[in-house]
Amino acid sequence: MRTMKPSSNKSHPPDASGDEAPASGTPNLQSSEYYINRELSLLAFHERVFEQARDPRVPLLDRLRFLCITSSNLDEFFEVRVAGLKQQVAYGSTQTGADNLSPAEALRRISSQAHALVRAQYQFLNQEMLPDLAEEGIRFLRREEWNEDQLRWVQDYFHDEILPVITPIRLDPAHPFPRLLNKSLNFIVSLDGKDAFGNRGGMAVVPAPRALPRLIRVPEEFASSPDDFVFLSSILHTHVGELFPGMEVTGCYQFRVTRNSDLFVDTEEVDDLLRALEGELPSRRYGDAVRLEVADNMPDVQARFLLRRFQLEESDLYPVEGPVNLHRLMNLPDLVERPDLKYASFTPGLPKRLAPGANLFKAISHRDILLHHPFQSFAPVVDFVRQAAADPDVIAIKQTLYRTGSGSVLVDALMQAARGGKEVTVVVELRARFDEEVNINLANQLQEAGVHVVYGIVGYKTHAKLLMVVRREAGHLHRYVHLGTGNYHQRTARLYTDYGLFTADPEIGEDVHDIFLQLTTQAKKPKLRHLLQSPFSLLPGLLERIQRECENVSAGRPARIIAKINGLVDPAVIQALYAASNCGVRIDLVVRGICCLRPGVPGVSENIRVFSIIGRFLEHTRVYYFENGKDPEVWLASADWMPRNLSQRVEQCAPIRDRKLAKRVIQDLMLYLQDDLQAWEMAADGSFSRRRGPDSSISAQRKLLESLAEA
């Protein structure tokens, strides 16, 4: 298995950054040499995902999924991260982060690294993935492979399904270059001869209608293998001449442009955030271009013409040997009935106390309940709201919603509760990136059902995962709470690893009540009893606990920090971890994606190890462990250790007060630290290599499936 080691993550030497160590010889923990650029670290994560596609231990169709996920990840990377850097360069910004890398230099390194990754993707597609699929009877028929019967079927398909909806656009002064949708499939066509009005030659653009599938199954009577497919692009290539009668098509080449998709709404200048976002959403489809993907056989003249049209540089051009929209292959595993080429199916487990039909309020009041998704079912969370909606003793329901997906049964239960006369309050985060339109529709539906809907705090995304039910019991009100590390989204609960904690702890309930009160009234920050909250107490609370571990190790008491998070960027946290390492605190970090900290640097981070787990499920849990002498603390949070989470969002971080459940989470953490099948270990230069033990037999995800899920 080849290991990707992105050399572009390496920092400049200290003298190049202008940072110098203090005269005493102790390291300057703010020096840029100790920080990795966040964008390059994110790109390295995409490389690790790509390695899953190349791993022969992964079932073939799931290897294809990982290839498509890498392509989708790169799309978003360019739409948001590269777009942001380009804007900084356009504005003349030279501002740098902790790594001291300018936006222009970051773009240069990204271009080099991204081009290498794209080349590797298509080389793998053509040399390994497609041949392996063909051996299993899953083929993508090229135009030169079509027999006479298939040619006739393709011709009929073109005339029946494509020709009625396609709109070719000849380029001339009366037909200027069209506005093309973000990430849409298009063709640039060169023409010869005269048209009906006597105009000679020229070029045209043919946008592929988005309503048409990009991958089309060949009917059984025309197929030569069990699963034959053709690309829409192949059919268009074959019949493009019919779109320009009387002229000769001398070239036809596919291309795709990626645009800036970040939305900007000046929250200080708008009266209604929902309406402002509704007005801004259409612009996402036509933002500034940031990347151009073209067929690798496109002549230079057409490629340069497109670059000029999109105001892009040559470094923004990505020639590819294959379909320009690899992500469209994501549907293939669902189109093919081959369970032998996919991960084995499983049924998420259920704790005994939560068997179907169980009274959840009774179960939760007896003792806290911890669920670990997707190994354990998300259904109890939905049932919690359903039972609350139907329970005459329930007075109120309050919930935060960041991402739910369309058609959520949980949302249906909230609306049912409101229609039934209960007080239902929902904090909908309208600015959840790429889910804005879904959340706007969701907010409107909830309001129509009688739900009190608010959009959180102006200037701060509400990313907290909170659900509270208020119930009258024996003449008194009791609060039942669910706190999660992930979204209230049924589909991703089958794909992402997350914890969910049910508790009837009255003090936790008070804290959650105070946070909801703040979200709906914007009252002063509450004095929480147990929870930590961004943007107020979470960062100070983390720094305080890291410092406490330093004091413990200095006093000879047990000291250790373990964190499982999705990203580590915040400079204050990184500096605190460096200081703790120098104190002798043992620190293990399981960071799925971005990590700007450098582990194993002599005199700085010798006691810090960083691992990344890339497996069947997307690792999404946020768990913090502090040994605290002999009184360990375990926290579940919605927040990663990034500036946006700690300072620019509303997040929650809750202690697991039930010692038995805390012990279970600690055991899970230890299992991840033992993983030698799906773990990558980070080196001081920012590169990652697969972790291999003597037996290479431990997969944390597999172990959790075996212990928590049903076969």
What are the residue numbers of the active site?
Answer: 463
Neighbours of 351 (CB within 10 A): 16
Q: Sheet of 169-171: strands edge to edge?
A: 169-171, 200-207, 186-194, 248-259, 289-295, 317-320
d(CA 128, CA 137): 15
DSSP state of 562: E
Q: How many C-beta atoms lie closer than 10 Å to residue 155's C-beta?
A: 14
Tokens 């850097």 correspond to: 85
User: Phi, psi at residue 509, to the nearest 5°?
Assistant: -60, -40
Q: Are 235 and 154 in contact (CB under 8 A)?
A: yes
Helix (H) or strand (E) holding 319: strand 317-320
Read off the amino acid at residue 526.
Answer: P
SS3 sequence of 445-477: HHHHCCCEEECCECCEEECCCEEEEEEEECCEE
Task: Say if residues 289 and 307 touch (Cβ distance below 8 Å).
Answer: no
Integer-rounded Cα Rg, in Å, for the chain is 27
- The order of strands in the sheet holding 227-231 is 138-140, 227-231, 215-217
Contact present, 185 and 244 (Cβ < 8 Å): no
Handedness of CA 703, 707, 710, 711 (dihedral sign): positive
Asked if residue 374 has a cis previous peptide bond (ω within 30° of 0), the answer is: yes
Instruction: For residue 3, give the 3-state DSSP assignment.
Output: coil
Report CA torsion sign: 270, 273, 279, 285. positive
Neighbour-count burial for 543-554, b at 16+ CB within 10 Å, e otherwise: bebbebbbebbe
Angle, alpha carbons 477-481-485 (nearest 5°):
165
**Three-class SS state of 317:** strand
Local structure of 438: helix, strand or coil? helix
Q: What is the largest CA-CA distance in the chain?
A: 91
First-last CA distance in the chain: 30
Q: What are the residues whose beta carbons fall under 8 Å from the beta carbon of 585, sequence distance 6 or more?
A: 546, 549, 550, 553, 559, 560, 561, 607
Cβ distance 586 to 549 under 8 Å? no
Answer left, alpha or beta for residue 125, where phi above 0 means left and psi between -120 and 50 means alpha: alpha
- Residue 42 in contact with residue 76, Cβ under 8 Å? no
Place of tokens 């501002």: 95
Q: Which two tokens stand for residue 452?
A: 């009190």
Query: Rounded distance, CA 640 to CA 648, Å?
Result: 12
Backbone dihedral region for residue 183 (phi beyond 0: left; psi -120 to 50: alpha; all else: beta): left
Q: Which amino acid is at 430?
A: L
Structure tokens at 233: 């692009």
326 forms bridges with which residues in the sheet? none
